[in-house]
Amino acid sequence: MSFGEILKNVVDGTDGALGALVVGLDGIPVDEYSIASELDIQAMTVEYSSLIKEIEKGSQTVHLGSTKEVTVMAEKAMVMLRRLNDEYFMVLIIKPEGNFGKGRFLLRMAVPKLLKEF
Amino acid sequence: MSFGEILKNVVDGTDGALGALVVGLDGIPVDEYSIASELDIQAMTVEYSSLIKEIEKGSQTVHLGSTKEVTVMAEKAMVMLRRLNDEYFMVLIIKPEGNFGKGRFLLRMAVPKLLKEF
């Protein structure tokens, strides 16, 4: 399966999902699948890649080890970031009323499939 | 109930919880309750208050509105941050094998109780 297909499966399988992407820690997206035209995926990519680096630094500073997953619940969306390897992470964006648990499950299931494609 | 008692209830009610604290966005802790001596609560406080500000800025930049909750799953602990108001947030730290769902539930239940004390 290609990156795009794996991302599509996660988004289609999650009630309320708006989009998913694979991004490098440098902020450069590898692939994305979005069903919400109002989402500024480009801006999100840049913003969250710098965020995940900050969080990683923070976790290391307080001796919690490396970060595996981060979720941000904001007013207009829930954003879930999952580390793929040292250089890439996956992002899933869900509406506030969407199925967060299902999204998290599918995101975790997608990790080994995505890693196979690297 | 005092801050300390509310925090103690959350920690005691959550399997695997290591500690909880109320912190200002400026990084100054208001109160804390910890059952793990190895936790560097002071360092965490400073680190996570700067983190929550970064995340807030990020969410605003990508037009997701203000941040209500952030969870970080690291190797050695899960850290849950919940916004209380414009100036304060609450942090709950749980072991990786702890009861994350119960912690999140108790954290949310604690918010109105903590707000009454401000």
Per-residue HEC secondary structure of chain B comes to CCHHHHHHHHHHHCCCEEEEEEEECCCCEEEEEECCCCCCHHHHHHHHHHHHHHHHHHHHHCCCCCEEEEEEEECCCEEEEEECCCCEEEEEEECCCCCHHHHHHHHHHHHHHHHHHC
Q: Do B58 and A68 touch (CB under 8 A)?
A: no
Q: Do A73 and B73 touch (CB under 8 A)?
A: no
Instruction: Find chain A residues with C-beta within 8 A of B69's C-beta.
Output: 71-73
When mean pLDDT is compared across A66-70, A78-82, B58-62, B93-97, the lowest value belongs to B58-62
Interface test with A, best of B54, B68, B72 (most A CBs within 10 A): B72
| pLDDT at position A54 | 83
Dihedral pair phi/psi, residue B114, rounded to 5° = -65, -40
Nearest-by-CA chain A residue for B69: A73
How far apart, in whole angstroms, are the C-alpha atoms of residue B74 and residue A109?
18
Ranked by mean pLDDT, which of A1-10, A47-56, B37-46, B58-67 comes out on top? A1-10
Burial label for A118, CB within 10 Å (0-12, 13-18, 19+), is exposed
| pLDDT at position B19 | 92
CB A41 within 8 A of CB A28: no
End-to-end CA distance of chain A: 12
When mean pLDDT is compared across A46-60, A69-83, A84-98, B1-15, the lowest value belongs to A46-60
Could you tell me the two tokens for B37?
A: 């001596």
Beta strands A78-83 and A88-94, pairing class: antiparallel
By percentage, how much of chain B surpasses pLDDT 70? 98
Interface test with A, best of B59, B100, B107, B111 (most A CBs within 10 A): B59
Write down the ipTM of this complex. 0.85
Write down the mean pLDDT value for chain A.
89
Ranked by mean pLDDT, which of A32-46, A50-64, B56-70, B87-101 comes out on top? B87-101
Instruction: Find chain B residues with C-beta within 8 A of A65's C-beta.
Output: 74-76
Taking residues A22-33, report their average pLDDT.
88
Instruction: Find chain B residues with C-beta within 8 A of A48's C-beta.
Output: 58, 62
Dihedral pair phi/psi, residue A15, rounded to 5° = -55, 125
| pLDDT at position A65 | 85
| pLDDT at position B81 | 92
Cα→Cα distances A23→A36, B42, B52, Å: 18, 33, 22
Given the structure tokens 């909880």, which residue do they identify?
A: B20
Q: Sorting pLDDT into bands at 50, 70 and 90, what band is A17? A: very high
| pLDDT at position A59 | 81
Q: Which of A110, A28, A103, A46 is nearest to A73 (CA)?
A: A103
